[in-house]
Every structure is written in structure tokens, then in C-alpha cells.
Amino acid sequence: MGFAGYKAMISARARAAGVSEGTISSIIPFLSLDMRVVRLDRGQPGGVMPTTTVPPFAPYRRDHVTPSLIARGQTVYATNWTRLWGLQTRTGVDAAMPVAIFGHETSYGVVTGGFDLLDSLATLAYDGRRRALFEGELIAALQLIDRGTPRSRLRGSWAGATGYPQFMPSAVLKLAVDGDGDGRVDIWSSQSDALASIANFFKNAGWKAGVSWGVAARVPATFDRAAVRNNVVAARCTRVFARHSRWLTMREWRALGVVPTGRTLPDDEPASLLEPDGPTAPAYLLTSNYRVILEYNCSNFYALSVGLLADAIARR
């Protein structure tokens, strides 16, 4: 099936999903294949040339928890403090976490991506590697247009993420909220709406109020890692979760000699151990809230750097 045939098929599916004829006729016939998107997608881990090599975390941390991101995040945090505190009170989500996501995803709105979302999503769906995912997002983007979002707004990453929070279209539909009370939801130019929408995402993903994402920890030289190996194969993000230990309470970790090096967690709080750069490098004890960060982007390096950035922004 060529791309013209695919556009006819997606028109039928959009129609079945309730997308208006006006949107279908004004958008779908004019969609274009973007071969740059195809090349970028196939170059990702899990593409046609997968890799089993895990790079070190330390360079990634240096690139994503920078003095500039920390300082600018502290400014955003201070400027929006009243609203952030209100969000934390209502949702339970740590007030620094939406700011850290905002900084990590778009450098506080500086880099939001210049790809046409409709073309990118149609290209990814047609290419077929993850057709079900991207077809659903393409239809969600069409539904956003039906709701009044201008096509010109729908720009972002090559993989279909858009706005300050870099939400996929389905997340915009379900989770984007009005954070400044002006009656509109604008995650493309309103910091308040973006921060509130990220907090809503985290609440929806199961954030546990009053609990840190994790803490740095010291592991004794004689520690038996085989004794805490996690033998459960995760249903999703298998390689990410394979690097985590099994769950133990903080009391149990302390009994094994694994102790926090700064902030701590309650004795009965479950945590898993992650040593991203091996036994001789910094280790982390991670709570269920770390798994919530992984819902945003299922990468240990991403989740660790977001947690560390949030702590630095809040001066913890």
C-alpha cells in the first residue's frame, strides 16, 4: 500500500473515531512523508540496528543537570511558586518536579521542536514500526484540531511530542489543563498551563504525595548484589527495569549496609537499588515515584536526571 492508499485508510479510521469531515478533508489529503523522520526513527534503540551497549550515566548527567538548567529552573520555581505550591497541595506532586520536566524537555520553552506533527505522525504510522501507537496519536492530533487547536500550533519533536511539556497528542487531550484560570488550555506558550499539565500527568500516573523520587546511597564493598537481583521480567521497558534490584524496605536496605548519603526515606518505604555506572560509582535507592517519572520517558538516565534536577532546583 502506497502513502496515498494509507491516507485513504486513515481517513476512514479518523471518521470512525468521530473526527469531523472538515478536518479530514482539510488535513489528510495534504499530509506528506518526511524521510528525515524515518531516518531518525530507525536510528533509535530498538530500530533496525539495536544496540545492547549501555553508555555511562555520568556524561548524560553533566549534559542534563547543568548549572544553567539549575539556575534557570530556580527562577521558574520562584516566579511560579504560588501556583506550584497550589499544585502540590491539590495533586501531591512535588512542586519542583514539573519545573524539572519543563527544563529537561524544552530548556524552559526554548527548544520545543520544529517538525510538523501531523506529517511526522503520519510518516511514523505509515512506516509501520509502531503503527498502532502513531496512528492513535495521529487521530488524537486531528481531534485536537477539531477542538480548535490551530494546525500551526501542532509542531514539536520528530516523534510527535509538542508544547512546553512535550506531550503526545493523546496526552494533550486527556491531561492538559488550564493552570492560570484564563479558560484556555495552552501548553505552547503558558508556563502555568504547562506546569499544571505536567503535575496532572504525574498525579494520573500514580505519584505518591510526600515521598521523594529517590536518594543517593552508599553501597558497601562486600555487598552481595545477587541476593537482591530482580528476577521478574517487566512487561514494558524490559531493559530499563532489568537494571533495578528487587524491592526492599529502607529498613532492610540499612540492615544490608546500603545507606543514604544525604536525605533519607522512612524505614518502611519500599525502594529498589540502581547503580547506573556500576559498583564503584554513585548508587540510588528509588521509590515508586521514580517509576512515575519513567511513565513520562522510560529511560533510567532520563528519570535520574529529572529527579536530580528537581532536587537542585529546590535546593535539596
Q: Which of 21, 105, 269, 275 is catalytic?
A: 105
Asked about 135 being catalytic, the answer comes back as: no
Residue type, 53: T
E strand or H helix at 316:
none
Based on its alpha-carbon atoms, the radius of gyration of the chain, rounded to whole angstroms, reads 21
Give the angle 132-135-141 at the CA atoms, nearest 5°. Answer: 140
What are the helix and strand counts (H, E) for the chain?
15, 7
CA distances from 85 to 94, 194, 195, 210 (A): 9, 15, 11, 13
Residue 66, C-beta contacts closer than 8 angstroms, at least 6 positions apart: none
- With 0-12 / 13-18 / 19 or more C-beta atoms within 10 angstroms meaning exposed / middle / buried, residue 59 is exposed
Catalytic site residues?
105
